[in-house]
Structure 1
Amino acid sequence: MDGENRLRLVILVGAARESRFGLAAAEWLAVRARLRKDVEVDVIDLATAWLPDLMTADPAVPRPSAVRDLSPWLVAADAFAVVTQDYRLGCPASLRNAIDWYDREWHAKPVGFVSYGEASGGLGAIAQLRQAFAEVHAMTVTETISFHHYEKRWGPEGQLLDSAACRAQAAAMLDRLEWWARALRRARALEPYEDPTPVYAEE
């Protein structure tokens, strides 16, 4: 498949705790996505993006340099997969902060979720994130990947232990993201997606 038809999937690692199971889960998904001939993958770890947590309400004020540096990676994405743990049945602050810093970068693009936690498997975080992404005009897919009792999923050499069910979930989510990514990319090409909400100045 030629380069113009290839899809770019950005995997965002949203949790920044030291256990870093999220990074292992992101790399696991990236390996599976890269097996597809028509998908290019970027993994972005928000723990190293250094996005500031203080925002101004004035859209005329330029965004900080760290925010501007990450923006092109998000703009280039056709689809997103967000890796998250739930903290007190909600999403981590680092992830919500990243969503709030951007506007047009998310518009009319599909978002899938990889969650992990104890018995809940991180599903509380996904429930919050669906609402947050709706507000930035992204479209979340129903298919998800959930690692329950994630602390038991480490192998003897520190690798993530998956299962047939997890691999099936990944295939289903990637299939759905690809379908929506192509459909929405065609739609944006025919008619740019417009949102009247003010956006931050770039300089």
Structure 2
Amino acid sequence: MMERLNLAIIYGSASKGRFCDTIVNWLVPIILEDGDFLIETIDPALIKHTPRGGRQNCPVTTQIRPAIAEADAYLIVTPEYNHSFTGELKLLIDSARDEWCRKPAGFVTYGGISGGLRAAEQLRNVFGELHVATIRETVSFANVWDCFGDDGRPYDSATARAAVQKQLADLKWWARALRDARLPLETLEHAPVAGTGPQQGIQGALQNQFA
């Protein structure tokens, strides 16, 4: 049996009464049924402090950077605000940098007529700068308030579930591929470099390896 993947589900809203909770509560059992993921949630609503003194001194950083670092993949559940995503989500993203690198992210979006897709398009640009591979498959709920019943499940449950399962399969492939690719790189980055001279770190290690 393959080692399970650490999946961080990131809430895109911190608003009171947000629909994010309904969608995440519906998603989690589907993800657990898959059997290949261990889930951790990262919620900007739990962040109590505002940043002061820059990213490194921000209280948010010490709260969430370990969870971001330990994840093999990310699933961002986000609404669309004014053709983009929320400020709380941007603060959360900006509180880390290297921790995001070389991992995949998928999006579950919701909103009005656009289904939150414009938020996902904005996020692709942001995550591209962080070397995050955003996958093509997106789960989207247009006019979300008309999509879910009082039981917290989509009215068209079969179609929604199939979309999530397709997205998870893609996310899983990327997560395993990038995790396998990261491990040799991390080994080289932390390995002592033989000899002396101006070449240090990974560049020097690579030159020694292939000399």
TM range (shorter): 0.7 to 0.9
SS at match of 2:48: coil
SS at match of 1:124: helix
Q: Distance in 2 between matches of 1:51 and 1:81?
A: 24
Contact preservation (8 Å) 1:28, 1:160: yes
Work out which of the residue numbers 47, 61, 64 in structure 2 matches 1:67: 61
Contact preservation (8 Å) 2:110, 2:144: yes
Match for residue 117 of structure 2? 123
TM-score normalised by structure 1 residue count:
0.85
Return the offset for 1:101. 1.3
**Which structure has the higher relative contact order (CA within 8 Å, separation 6+)?**
1
Work out which of the residue numbers 123, 139, 147 in structure 2 matches 1:153: 147
Contact preservation (8 Å) 2:65, 2:95: no
Match for residue 176 of structure 1? 170
Alignment: residue pair count: 187
Return the offset for 1:51. 5.3
SS at match of 2:119: helix
The superposition leaves residues 146-181 of structure 1 with CA deviations (integer Å, 9 ceiling, x where unpaired) of 011111234234x13252221111011100110011
Q: Distance in 1 between matches of 2:155 and 2:46?
A: 26
Shifted more, 46-55 versus 179-188: the winner is 46-55
Match for residue 109 of structure 1? 103
Match for residue 208 of structure 2? none
SS at match of 2:99: coil
Match for residue 183 of structure 2? 189
Match for residue 78 of structure 2? 84
Contact preservation (8 Å) 1:145, 1:169: yes
Q: Distance in 2 between matches of 1:112 and 1:156?
A: 26
Q: Distance in 2 between matches of 1:126 and 1:118?
A: 14
Gaps of 5+ in 1: 195-203
Gaps of 5+ in 2: 190-211
Return the offset for 1:69. 2.1
From the superposition, tell whether residues 55 and 166 of structure 1 become closer, same or farther in structure 2 (CA, over 3 Å): farther
The superposition leaves residues 89-116 of structure 1 with CA deviations (integer Å, 9 ceiling, x where unpaired) of 1011111111111101100000000000
Work out which of the residue numbers 33, 37, 40 in structure 2 matches 1:39: 37
From the superposition, tell whether residues 153 and 55 of structure 1 become closer, same or farther in structure 2 (CA, over 3 Å): farther
Counting helix residues as a fraction of each chain, which structure ranks higher? 2
Identity %, equivalent residues = 35
Q: Distance in 1 between matches of 2:89 and 2:65?
A: 15
Q: Distance in 2 between matches of 1:101 and 1:6?
A: 26
Contact preservation (8 Å) 1:23, 1:45: no
Return the offset for 1:79. 0.2
Return the offset for 1:74. 1.0
Which has more radius of gyration? Answer: 2
Shifted more, 72-81 versus 30-39: the winner is 30-39
* Structure 1 vs Structure 2 CA RMSD: 1.9
Return the offset for 1:53. 4.5
Shifted more, 145-154 versus 45-54: the winner is 45-54
TM-score normalised by structure 2 residue count:
0.82
